[in-house]
Structure 1
Amino acid sequence: HFYLFHDFLGIGGLFKFVKNATFTKLTMFLMPCTVSKQLNNMEYLDLTDNLLNDRSLKETLCSGAWPSLRYLILRKNHFRSLDRTSPKFSKLSKLIYLDLSQNRFSDIKTSCKWSEKLQFLNLSSCDIKSVKECIPPNIEVLDLSNNIISSFAVHLPSLKELNLSNNKLKSLPGDGYLPKIEILKISSNKLTSLTAEEIKTFQKLTFLEAGKNNYICSCEFLFYMNNAITVQLLDRAENYICDSPLILRGKVVQYTKRSFFDCHKTVSLALLCVGTISAVTFAVVMCYKYHVFWYIQMTCAWLKAKRKPKKVRKNIICYDAFVSYSEMDSEWVENLLVRELESAHPPLTLCLHKRDFIPGKWIMDNIIESIEKSRKTLFVLSQHFVQSEWCKYELDYTHFRLFDENDDTAILVLLEMIPKETIPQRFCKLRKLMNTKTYLEWPQDEVEQQNFWLSLKVTLKEEPNETDEN
């Protein structure tokens, strides 16, 4: 046991020549002042894993002890109070290196006294919760790794290297506390990001070790780490892992990229809105151009009529014929057709859009209802007819009804010859009707006109499905 110091009395004269000494795992709880004074040439002393404590240090470091000591290692002893221990070290005027790691300095006071030449201080694995002004102000290398520190706000103007690995820091120490820092180790903490602004606060920072943190792999973070970082990373790229978002968790930052839409949400949203509005506008224009709304309404009207029993449909008949014609042919319709048919015996009832459409009602609804309430649909065909949009609608619905219900509801009256090649493509249904149904031609001869009216009246009086098609 080392504390039986009477064994050294005989060789005490030899101590003054010793420069390096290691006394580890000797259960030493103090070194007598007389022995410490004899170590007047000692420059390096390692007292790791002993029983030295705050009280015994007063005897060990008495006045005149270790006058030449530069490196002192007191790792894994029983020191508890840094503010009571540090004044003892201030007596070592040449001390530049002090290792107090693996002691328990959980409570650090705000005031401590140190050797003015101290440059290296190791306080790792000491259960330190917070760092205050107890750190020597002229220190150049400070090791505070493996503690439970959550914040660092100590002004150390001479510090060049700082190790804060394996703590609970959520951000880098900044605000100008470390103006000369060159090496910063802050791995295994709770950092979520690194930004150019944070790094710029360390004007002389050259090396950084910041792996094994809980990084949020935002677009800004990924861009900075992969393209704009200005310091050299000391640890491996595999140590920088994404913790969130969930889809990127576990991926190495160096090999991770996010899409343009993820990184430019405002622009993406604007593009999406513009694209949606454009698509909707285009769809509306196309629907209008190709009469989709009309066809939808026509289909709905047909389905509604389809659900009605035939007896009910017959009961709503109000007209013998709905007359579909171009406004340009209104003179012939109103002066000849209407006069001839409605004055017949018995008279025929015609439905004309000028006279019988309900005012204020949408014209599409008027067309559909008028055709539904008419036994027949009479088309007055001319070059003007094939140029009319409304005539096309009336023709489409009648054709739709004709082929679905197998009704002979369509009657074609040809006012003038219409070459089939001159019929517009959109009047394809008219071509089909002209190819499949017999139509009446308006003659110029008055005698033949009498036959024309007779044939037309007979055709209008016939019930649907009774007319023979030629």
Structure 2
Amino acid sequence: MEKHRLNILVLVAILNPLSHFSLSYSFRNCVENPTSNHTRFDCMYRYEQNASAIVADLPPSAKVLNISVCAVSTIPSGSFSHLPNLTVLRLHNKNLSNIDKDAFRNLFQLQIMNLSSNRISYLHPSTFNNLHSITNLLIQDNLLPSLSQAVFADLENLESLILRRNLLSSFSVVVESVAHMSKLTTLDLSFNRLPSLHHKARLPPSLQRLYLGNNRLKTLGCKTDLFSRVKVLDLSYHKNLSSKDFRGLDLGSITYLRLRSTSVNVGELLNVTNLTPQHMDFSGLGLNNSLVKLCKLLRKHVKTHAIRKMILQSNGIHNLSKATFHNCPSFTNILDLSQNELKTTGCLQFLRDHQQLQIIKVEHNHLTKLESCKRTDDLSFPHMKEMSYRYNRILLVSGFAFYHTPNLTNLELNINIIAYLDHKALHGLRNLKNLRLDNNLLTDVYEDSFEDLHSLNTLNLRNNRIAVIFNRTFHSLQKLEILDLGGNKISQLMPEAFSGLSSLTKLYLDRNCLKKIDGDLFGKLHNTLQVLDLEANNIRYSSMFENPPFVKLTKLLDLKLSGQLPRGIAMLPLDFFRGLSSLRSLWLTNNHIAFFGWNTFDDLLSLEFLVLDNSCVGVTQLKPGIFKNLRKLKHLRAKNLGIRSFSREVFGNLTRLEVVYLNHNVMQTLNSTFLEELLNLKYLDVEKCPLSCGCLNTDLQNWTNSTQKVQLAHIYDLKCPDLPNSDFHDFDTKVCYLHIEIYFFASTYSVSLLLTLIPLLYVKLYWKFKYSYYVFRSWFGEQWRRVREQEEDCEYDAFVSYNSEDEKWVLDTLVPNLEGNGSSFRLCLHHRDFELGRDIVDNIVKAVYSSRKTLCVVSQHYLHSEWCSLEIQLASYRMFDELRDVLLLIFLEPIPERQLSAYHRMRRVMLKKTYLQWPGRDCSDPTKAQELFWKKLKRALRSSNNRSREEEEGSKEREEEPQERAEEREHFINERQKDDEPYYLMP
């Protein structure tokens, strides 16, 4: 059977290239990018040491594969042969050491391969065979001591080869291995162990960028035409290289030459080569004391008398005077003075002769102050567009510090220690578009700090110490689109703080000390604001409020409220997000929300991305319908939210969901039927959820092993909390299915048990069942419904229940004394008043409920009659149900109590009611006793809960009552002395 099943699966795999999905659309070691349509996969932080084990279940549609930070040490032959469409393969994982022959077989479409940061010490000559499409190969940060000449033989389309940070010691071997590459443009051999550039073969004619810095070159030792076609050449950090090593070399094509930290003399180099001076990077050549000399030399060799780029980094320059660059050719584009020892640049007087300059960089120096330049009216740099003073020690920016550069568009003063920015420091910069003041020590910005920056587009004040934003601080920044105030200590925003920001689209206030959100304040930005970041503030609500804070921000697209301190937002009040009808992304990560209002998200009609990670207090009971209006939501992150159930009642309206993260929740079950209803769902992550491996999740396991459209991330890592050493995807479900023999056993056992019990029940409870049957039958036929208030309209005064053996006494004695002799009682008798053709039970029920009383004539024959038993039980049921005196018992003969024990219904009546005993022949005075009997019976028949019956008897009978009672009592005492049987009188 198993073999047959395997053959079927193989056949399906042959017929359908995506047949692996029919088994399970989840992967043991990888996760598919939810939006990639089965093309992008990440396989990170895995413990498998064999690459083929990681990618074995990936589909052939894969194009981008990232196997990073894994324990993979070996790539066996043919590991990726089932992935013919792969175009990008990243294997930088720090442990890879062995690549087998033909490891990359069948990767004909591969274009980019990254083998960086591993322990590869050997590459087989056929490692990259048939990889004709590769354009970029990165093997940096490995342990390669050498290369086979044929290792790159099939990489004729390779454009970039990165071999930096290896142990290569032969430049000639490398050149021989790449000489055939007609499209190679970049070769990086930096940080290796090359002692010289001796070579036998020629570099590819297409090579334009060659990086050889940080090797062990003591001499070049190369042919004169080695660099004849190279445009970018880096030979930095070789202290033994001197100018004579370049003698005769053809450097005519060089557009950028970097010789940092070498012993090359610029003048000598220009004399012994055909290098164009303006294409040389002069960084790290120790030119501190020879800048004047350098300028003269450059003027001599530069034919155009202009240098576009002048890079002078790391030359130990301490001072710059007016004469420093006086003799230099004109600087037109960039002057880079970074990483020197400058303490001041003044007002750029040293550039008096270079007023065409557009960009100046003075980064990583020791500047402490930017002085005022208003008095240098004769000095101006109208073409200056960009200035960067990053990574200095600037403490103070004086007023009019940039007066001499009025046309600046980009100014970078970030990463300093600026504590004071003069009110007029930025005066005159009307064309400035980007200003960076982040990572300083500013505590205040004023109303006039930015008043001249009418063209400013981006203002970055992040990571300062600003506590208050005063009124009209940004009033003149009408073109400002991005304002970054994050990472400060802002606790107060004045009412007019954002006045004038009529074009602002992005506002960052994260990591401040705001305690509340001022709806009126942010409401002034309602026409333009699209992004509002309020992460990591002190916003907290513990009760409801009246004014929603975002009600006016109808164009806001992205709102971040994550990580409020110290313990997060305590609750989300009702209508908290009112007005955000255009919002698409909402971030509520890392809060401790104890209460989600039932209409909290009702106004977020356009929301597509919602993040609720780590935003709960214990187990969260989300209210049904809380997401009812989020019909456009596509991406939901609810990691560690304390969700107990992913139910239809809560999440049922999210019909457009595509990506759902539910990992680290407390769900024990998932409704697979509901998951199937989410037709757009592509990605589901339930990692670290304690899903039970029991019968409740049998359908879920079947769904996880059969779904073809939803990726279940990390499902193979999901363990069974209730079954040690078991995995969720394959826990045993046989116990959850009952076999046919179990059904047969259960049915036969039930029938046998029923056949055994029926006779016993018949013997013991026959009368109970029969009585119940008739009671329910009468109730169902609606024959029982009689209204108490209609009692006076009853057809009969009494229904006489008796056995046929006692019929003579009833007809000859009872009836004449109650209906004759002047009595007005109307009795209901079987033979006389029952309706012909009607069921006897219906006749009995009608008789009981059509009579005010039921008169039972009890004898030994009566006790053995089934119909008599039914009649007395129906009468007693009526008595207990209506709580009225409707039952009278006449005992024709003495009957011991033990004979009544089987009739508990009658016994219960006897314990609660009195009864009459017909005087027998053994009575001392039968005539007098019978006369007393009839008086008591007639009075009992007349008694009722309604007083009308008593009143109609008249006052005369009431006057005679005491005398009758006395006579009864005397007779009772006499009879009681003779009779041992119980005898009761009517009270």
**TM-score normalised by structure 1 residue count:** 0.48
Flag the structure with more relative contact order, 1 or 2, with Cα contacts below 8 A and sequence separation at least 6. 1
Output the TM-score relative to the length of structure 2: 0.25
- The structure that is helix-richer by fraction is 1
